[in-house]
Structure 1
């Protein structure tokens, strides 16, 4: 019984540190900017830049454009970019778990 209780407590503690996509969106974007690039062209720039930082970063086409994210087991999603069509270019929103992820935001700025 003690082992089961200890396992439940440990799992709860680990889950408390997880960040979901909706958690990131609630905190607001760390970067929001327009780009003259199409969402596809912007994603083609940002995906390799983020993969240079962490190879687990991925890019997915969505109904609004592209979503790029880094998903880490036991942490959840600490970084995400949403790239949507705006006029002939893109609207870029980058969400980060906390202020220590400046390298992700800088990579996104370089692709604008």
Structure 2
């Protein structure tokens, strides 16, 4: 049963774009002691084995990190990282945010990279 729910979720999320993902409520929102580029590099390093190459682009006062899906190159998650006086404000949006059996590697990387 879990496998079929997972496959259905992957099939439905295959067409998500960055703007679609950003319209969902953030699954995580927090402040990090790291500057935006430091935090983005940490996330990219942590997800390199499970997600491959992440896309980074300038966004507002920081950087946006676009995480590809495990089975496709379509976006699965978006980190919006904005500079603050004492580090970064981070919002994580995930395409499968309402599916309880989604991969946990993105949130694990987000948590692991919070502290300086």
Q: Which category describes the TM-score, using the shorter chain as reference length? A: 0.7 to 0.9
Structure 1 partner of 2:32: 35
Output the CA distance in 2 between the equivalents of 1:15 and 1:107. Answer: 24
Structure with greater Cα Rg: 1
Question: Would you say how many aligned residue pairs link Structure 1 and Structure 2?
Answer: 99
Contact 2:61 2:82 in 1 (8 A): yes
1:108–1:74 distance in 2 versus 1, CA, 3 Å = closer
TM-score when normalising by structure 2? 0.72
Q: Would you say 1:86 and 2:75 are equivalent positions?
A: no
Structure 2 alignment gaps of length 5 or more? 1-10
- Give the stretch that moved more between structures: 72-81 or 57-66: 72-81
Q: Would you say 1:110 and 2:112 are equivalent positions?
A: yes
Structure 1 or 2: larger helix share?
1
> What is the CA distance between 1:24 and its match in structure 2?
0.9
Output the CA distance in 2 between the equivalents of 1:16 and 1:41. Answer: 29
- RMSD of the TM alignment (CA)? 2.5
Output the CA distance in 2 between the equivalents of 1:75 and 1:40. Answer: 23
- Give the stretch that moved more between structures: 60-69 or 14-23: 14-23
TM-score when normalising by structure 1? 0.74
Contact 2:51 2:68 in 1 (8 A): no
Q: Give the alignment of 1:63-102 within 5 angstroms.
A: 63-71=60-68, 76-98=74-96, 99=99, 100-102=102-104
